[in-house]
Each structure stands twice: as C-alpha cells, then as structure tokens.
Amino acid sequence: MVNTVLEPQTVEELADAVREAGRIEVLGSGSHVAFDVRGPQACSGLEDWSVALGHPTTLLMHRLTGVVEHHPEDMVVVVRAGTRLTDLQGALAERGQCIPWASPLGDIGTVGGLLALGLPNGLEARCGGWRDWCLGMTIVRPDGRVARSGSQAVKSVAGYDVHKLMIGARGTLGVIAEVILRTLPLGARPEPSWSATGTLSASNLRIQRTLATDFAALLTAAKGLPQVADEATSTLWSADVELPRFGHDWVMRAGCGSRNLEPFDAVQTGWMRRAKKLLDPEGKLNPGALEAI
Amino acid sequence: MPVTDPDRRTEARWARELESMLGPGQVLATPSARKAYDCDAYTIDKSKPSVVVLPETTEQVRDVVRWCNRNQVPYTPRGAGTGLSGGALAAMGGVLISTKRMTRILEVDLPNRCLRAQAGAVNKRISESVAHAGLHFAPDPSSQTVSTLGGNIAENSGGPHTLKYGVTVQHVLALTMVDVDGEIVQVGSKVPGGPGLDLLGVLIGSEGTMGVVTEAWVRLTPNPAKVETVLASFATVRDATQTVADIIAAGTIPAALEMMDEGIMKAVSLAFGLVYPEGAKALLLIECDGDPDAVAGEMRTVLDICAKHGAMDVAVAADEAERQKLWTARKKGIGAMGRIAPTIVTQDGVIPRSKLPEMLDRISEVAARRGIGIANIFHAGDGNLHPCMYFDDRDPAQVEAAVAAGEEILEVCLDLGGSLSGEHGIGVEKIGLMERMFGREGLDLMMDVRRIFNDGDLCNPCKILPNQKGCVEHMRRWRGAAW
Ligand SMILES: Cc1cc2nc3c(=O)[nH]c(=O)nc-3n(C[C@H](O)[C@H](O)[C@H](O)COP(=O)(O)OP(=O)(O)OC[C@H]3O[C@@H](n4cnc5c(N)ncnc54)[C@H](O)[C@@H]3O)c2cc1C
C-alpha cells in the first residue's frame, strides 16, 4: 500500500482531506512521536500498529498555521493547530502576552500536537494547563464535518465542553483544526519553580505524578537520575527507569502510547473506548493510539 | 419509550414501590410536595414530578436509577434547586432524585488538601468544615449558603472569585456517580492530569444529563494571607469598564472584579440606606488577595488605574466589617431589586471583556424598546453579565416582553463573540438558542459526546440539546406554565 501524505493549508482543505482519506496518522511537527505507541525500547512486546493495520495516510499539520485572531485587550487568541508553539509565543510576545507553558523539554511541538498529548507543564500549579486555557476549538470529524466547540468568552458553561475531551485524546477522536486560547500578560508569567538535574531526553522520558504526601519518597528513589522535579504539583520528569508506584499516582512513559493507560481502572478506560467508538466509528484517526488499551 | 403520562394509580404504585425499596419518609408524592418541586429558581417553566425520592447513600441512588430503568420512568437529579435555567425541572415528569439527605463530609485529607463529600453537601459547609485548617473550597456561587456540591458540579458553577481561582471544574478531582445503566462508577483521580481522555472535564458542567453524581473529591485552597477590598464609583459606565480593561491588561488578576450600574445602586440605596456620590453611574468592587507583598503591589496598580479613569470615590476596607459593607451592593444587589419589583429574572450572557461598553448600551436599548426595567450587576473581570430584568409577572404581556428581551440580549452576546451562559447553564431556558451558538455540526458533536455516557432518554431529558425525542411536544405543556 502506498503511503500518501496530505498537507492541508486551510480548515476546508483539512476537512476535504480527512473526508476522502482512509486511515490517517495525524502529525504536528512530529516532535512528540516519542510518546506514541511505536517509540523505542520502552514498552516491550508492542506491535507496530502501522504494519498491523496497513500504512495509513499521513496528515501533516505543518502548513495549517498562523494566528487567526488575537485580541490582546480580551486576552484571547485564535490559532491554527499546526502553528509551532515557539511561533505562537513569538506572535503573542509582540503584544506583550504569552501562553504560560513551561516544559522540561522546551517549547517544542505544535499547538495541536501539544493539546492532543496533554502533557503536564511546570507552571501548572500557578497558571493551570491546557484544559484551563483552551476556551474552544474547531474540530474536523472523521467524516469531514467541521464542528465548533466553546467560544471566545473566557468563561462559558453553554453546552458540553467537547473541546476538553480532545485534550489528551492523541488525535483519536477528531482533528484539532483551530484552537481558542486565553493568554497571559508576559509580566505575569512566573518562572517555573522546579529543580533540575542532568539532561532529559524526549525518547527516554518518564513522567510520574503522585499525591503530595508521596512525593518525597519518589524523589528519594529517583536520586541521581537526570530529572526535573516540580514539588508544587508533585510531578517528576525523569529518565525512564523502574521507580516505585504509589496509591492514586500515574505514570506516562515515552514510547508506550496508550499502554500508559493499562494500569488505569477498567471503568474509565471503558468510557474512553466508548468515546472512540462513538466519535470515530470507523477507526480512521490515529489507528492504534487508543485501541491498544 | 419512557412512561411520561402515568395515571394516578400508576403514580401511587411507583411511590409504594420506591418507598419499600428506600425506606419510610424517603419518598414524597403528595400533591403539595409535587408542586413544591415543580421548578428550580428559574420559575417561568414548571413541570411536576410524579414522585420525589430522598436517597441517603450512593447505593440507594443506584437502586432508584435501576428501578427507573426497569420501569422506563424518566428521572432528574436535583440539589438545592437554586439552578437558574431549569436544569432540575422534571421536564417529562417521573422521579426527581433529590440529594437533600446526602450531605455528609466523608473524608478529609489535609496533607493532600482535598476532601470527599456527598453530592448534597452545601457549598459553604464544605469550606466551614476545613476553616480550622486555613483552607476553603474555592468556587463561591452567590447561592453558596444553600447550593450543593452536586449542583455546583453539574452547572460548573463560578462566583465572584472565579476570576482568579477558576470555576468548579478546576477544583474537582474525582467523582462517584451512578451512571445511566445503574452502575456505581468513579471518574477522575485524587492525582489529576493523568493519561487518557479528560472524562471529568466533560462530566462537570453536563447539567445532570450524564448520570447522578453521588460523591466527589474536591481540592481545598489555602485561605489568602491578606485580602484588600476597594469600592470605587465612576461618573460614567465607560470609565468603569475602561478601568476593568486596564487592570486586566496590566497583568493584575484581582480575586474579584465586579461591576454594578445605576439601577443596582438605586435599589441598594433604597433597601439598605447606602449612599453613593451624587452623579455616580457605576460601581466597581475590586478585591486583591494572597501574599501580603504581592497584594500591596496589586493594590497600588488598581488604585492608580482607578484614579486615571477619574474614580469619584474610592473606599478601601480597613477591616472585615468594612469589607462586608463594601460587598453589600454586590451580594445583596439582586435581593434589593426584588424589593422594588414584583418579579426579577437574571440573565447570564458572556462577552469578550472589551465589548462591555457597547454591550451595556445595547442592553439599555433593548430594555427601552421592550418596556421593561433592566439593571446590571456582573462579573466584569471575565465579561460575565447578569442583566437583571424587573417586571410584574402577574401581567402576561410583561412576562413575554421579559422573555423576549432576555433572548435578544443573549443574541447580542453571540454577535459579539460571546456565550449564552457564564454560570447558569442552558437547562430548558436557553435550549432554543443552542443551534444559533454552535450550529448543527456543533450540536451533533455534543449529542455524540452525550451518548458516551447517556445513550438513552431517561436521565434528565429535554435539557441542553434541542430536538430530543418527545421533548418538543412535551415542552408545550410546561413552557411558560407560570404565565
Ligand atoms: C440567588 C442565587 C444566586 C446564584 N448565584 C450564582 C453564582 O454566583 N454563580 C453560579 O454559578 N450560579 C449561581 N446561581 C445558580 C445556582 O445556584 C448554581 O447553578 C448551583 O450550583 C446550583 O446548585 P443546586 O444544588 O441548587 O442545584 P439544582 O438547582 O438543584 O440543580 C442544578 C442542576 O444540577 C443537576 N444536579 C443537581 N445535583 C446533581 C447530582 N448530584 N448529580 C447530577 N446532577 C445534579 C440538576 O439536574 C440540574 O441540572 C445562583 C442562584 C441563585 C438563586
């Protein structure tokens, strides 16, 4: 089977591409591939789903870029999903604003990709994360329908917050086309209060978050490892080695994709599978990335 | 199809069966009880439940939901009934599941700053129960002395301090709910942000349409070390709104930033004898809290900006008693309106903050044209308006004018890029405007998302999404039942 590559430049082109295509793998800048199911050594016994399911179409989001609207006085920006975070930060900085995001891996990735992964960040305790900043989205559904969720109002309880479901969904329920985000004045952006030792690598990364009361024990066990530790959210980014687990905690390991969900409870993963069935009944989007649960 | 038009004998049988399942006194089915529960605080639409049940535990809720499923009877969860959009209206009749007796605080985990409570726990009580440890539950809807945790979760409620602290979704870690199949399920975790879909993010704010929440783990927030409160009056609404915009643009995020217009000031003066400067057209209540040094810095910025926009009078509270006094206009403003008009209905649109001056002009234009009074009190910091329409509901023409004015105002909010609701939800009240806001495709997506949790038509039917099976015909009976 030939692997087709699609590179839409507008939401309409994206919708047409998705409608026409069969199975699609959605790629932002590709920087977070390490978190997919086909990463390197980390999760043993993983099938390469692209072989199992046949090479899908690759949907590259890197041309669907740019700020659509920025309203500095309202502190709201509308941005196309393929925009790199660094470019968005640059455009916002010209008007003295920013997205208060700090990742131990740096400002890598596209806005859509970052939302789709929904990884934690180092300013979360003070400024929140994607689910707090994302006010709405334009979503292309697997059949090419274009749906809008949320609004530019900084506070809204109208209808279901469908866009929240897309955050962390790894592009399996819909393709994020445009995103409405709240911004922060640059002057109000705090510095991350984490402590860092050594250098982390995206391909060999483990993120663990515990209850506050378990964090000291985790740090003791992780002593000597390259790491970034954020006490404010009890989050540890470290090289991927075996570390102790604690009640209620969670772990995300690069290269494990949705296998990260395996130790999760059956009820919640059941809902997630149901979400996939209802929103992408033909299993077109990022096949394998959620079904592996 | 659900059983929506039972005869008296069927209803009596339902009550008997439910009572033998739950216990004596846990089922209300008298005509007066059914009437008492025929609406929430949105009183324009009314519909009586067949039976009201008062479960005490998650297991009892589960039994009720299973009973409803077996008998194909619709059910509606209800907290304190302070909802302002008809979310707790038993739109198709059936069983109203009240959490009135589920008020226990079950577990307090101080080191991890969280607490588990039953859904019927009253918001304020949660904060009071941890006050000794210097903590509180941050969402502070003005109804907090009565509204319940379950209602707050269902409506994703906010309050005056939402600007800085966020709404309910930012403060709920996990839920226990009885799903529509009658299973007890847990969603979320005491440690937030884990892998997978943000199910909690969708369930919170789903207005009781995706199951009955019975318990929740909520975050506890440290009480601020220092609180400073300012009340400033302005000669024009524009000066006040420009002050709001400049404070936000300066990167200062006050804990609260509330505005009241002339209509509210008049009502408060009449009701409580408070005096405001001659010629003042708007009041801003600004509160900064947190670390004392940071608060001092924020206060300097706030006072400078107020001065720049010609604030007429600036009062800074010297102590808690004065603070409470400054808050009077904000907290009791709507109540004061109630003293000068037989009926008040509060709307709840949101607009981008910079559109506030334009929006206020449009509101007065609508009021004048429709011949009703509208006063404004709102969360200016996040653009959440509460136009308070006052009229006499004994006159059907005035009720109609108020409903029409409300819709018109919400349409203006949408035209300005805003939202139909910042706090009160859609319920049955704003269902007719949903397509205007989200389009057919947006609503289809929401319907699919509802189906993840609720693929049937028994759990809180006829809410949020228009065109649900059977609802349109049914609506004719309750729509404007109060007219
Ligand atoms: C004077 C006044 C001031 C108000 N101020 C504010 C404010 O500042 N901010 C704000 O956000 N709101 C405000 N409200 C609206 C209202 O108080 C809130 O929406 C509140 O959260 C509703 O809580 P309740 O317990 O009264 O819920 P109810 O009104 O009983 O129910 C509200 C919705 O929640 C659902 N529900 C209730 N319990 C459960 C449960 N256990 N499981 C699933 N679903 C459930 C119901 O089905 C319904 O859809 C105000 C209302 C009044 C009357």
ipTM value > 0.85: yes
Q: What is the largest CA-CA distance in chain B?
A: 70
pTM recorded for the entire structure: 0.96
Domain range B105-222, CATH class: alpha beta
Q: What is the pLDDT of residue B140?
A: 94
Q: Which of residues 48-87 of B touch A (CB under 8 A)?
A: none
Most informative mutation of B38, B147, B152 for ligand 1 (most atoms within 8 A of CB): B147
Q: Please, are residues B261 and B377 in contact by the beta-carbon 8 Å criterion?
A: yes
pLDDT at A105: 85
Distance CA A20, CA A23 (A): 10
Of B199, B249, B426, Cβ closest to residue A158: B426
Decide: A106 and A114 in contact? Cβ < 8 Å: no
A30 touches B: beta carbon within 8 Å: no
Which chain A residues have a beta carbon less than 8 Å from that of B172? Answer: none
CATH level 2 (architecture), domain B341-429: 2-Layer Sandwich (3.30)
The verdict on A234 touching B (C-beta cutoff 8 Å) is: yes
Amino acid identity of residue B346, one-letter, is T
Please indicate if any CB of chain A lies within 8 Å of the CB of B301.
no
Q: Which residue of A has its CA nearest to B452?
A: A275
Q: Which residues of chain A have pLDDT under 50?
A: 39-40, 293
Would you give the DSSP letter of residue A159? Answer: S
Strands B95-98 and B75-78: parallel
Residue at B483: amino acid letter = W
User: Which DSSP string corresponds to B147-162?
Assistant: -BHHHHHHHT---TTH
**Closest atom, ligand 1, to C-alpha of B152:** 21
| B273 CB-near residues (< 8 Å, 6+ apart) | none
Question: Exposure string (b/e) for B231-265, b if CB count within 10 Å is 16 or more?
Answer: bbbbbebbbbbbbbbbbbbbbbbbbbbbbbbebbb
Q: To the nearest whole angstrom, how far is the Cα of B16 from the nearest Cα of chain A?
A: 33
Atom of ligand 1 nearest to the CA of B334: 1
Which residues of chain A are within 8 Å of residue B416 when distances are taken between CB atoms? none
Q: What is the interface size between A and B, counted as CB pairs within 8 Å?
A: 228
What are the residue boundaries of the structural domains of chain A, listed by start? 4-60, 67-188, 195-261
How does DSSP assign B54-95, residue by residue? ---SHHHHHHHHHHHHHHT--EEEESSS--SSSTT--TT-SE
Answer whether A155 sits within 8 Å of B158, measured CB to CB.
yes
Distance CA A74, CA A218 (A): 41
Instruction: Answer whether B448 touches A (CB < 8 Å).
Output: yes
CATH 3.30.465.10 domain extents, chain B: 105-222
Taking the CA of residue B84 as reference, the ligand 1 atom at the shortest distance is: 15
pLDDT in the model for residue A39: 47
Q: Residue B110: count other Cβ atoms within 10 Å of its Cβ.
A: 13
**Residue A43: its pLDDT value, please?**
65
Task: Please give the Cα distance from A60 to A9 (Å, whole number).
Answer: 10
Is A207 an 8 Å CB contact of chain B?
Answer: no
- Using an 8 Å CB-CB cutoff, list chain A residues near B183: 267
Q: What is the pLDDT of residues B310-324, one digit of tens each?
A: 999 999 999 999 999
CATH of A67-188, one of 3.10.129.10, 3.30.465.10, 3.20.20.70, 2.60.40.1180: 3.30.465.10
Instruction: Please state which CATH number belongs to domain B224-331.
Output: 3.30.70.2190
Taking the C-alpha atoms of residue B459 and residue A248, their distance in angstroms, rounded to an integer, is 30
Distance of residue A131 Cα from the nearest chain B Cα, in angstroms: 8
Contact B80, B62 (CB under 8 A): no
Residue A53, pLDDT score? 59
3-state secondary structure of B357: helix
* Ligand 1 centroid distance, CA of A86 (Å): 41
- Six token digits for residue A133: 């900043």
Residue B382 tokens, joined: 């996040």
* Chain A residues whose beta carbon lies within 8 Å of the beta carbon of residue B444: 145, 147
Cα separations (Å) of B269 from B313, B322, B328, B333, B437?
Answer: 16, 17, 10, 10, 38
Mean per-residue pLDDT pooled into runs of 10, chain B (483 residues): 86 97 96 95 91 98 98 98 96 97 98 98 98 97 95 96 94 98 96 93 98 98 96 94 89 91 91 89 96 95 97 95 90 84 88 89 94 91 92 86 92 95 94 96 98 96 91 78 56
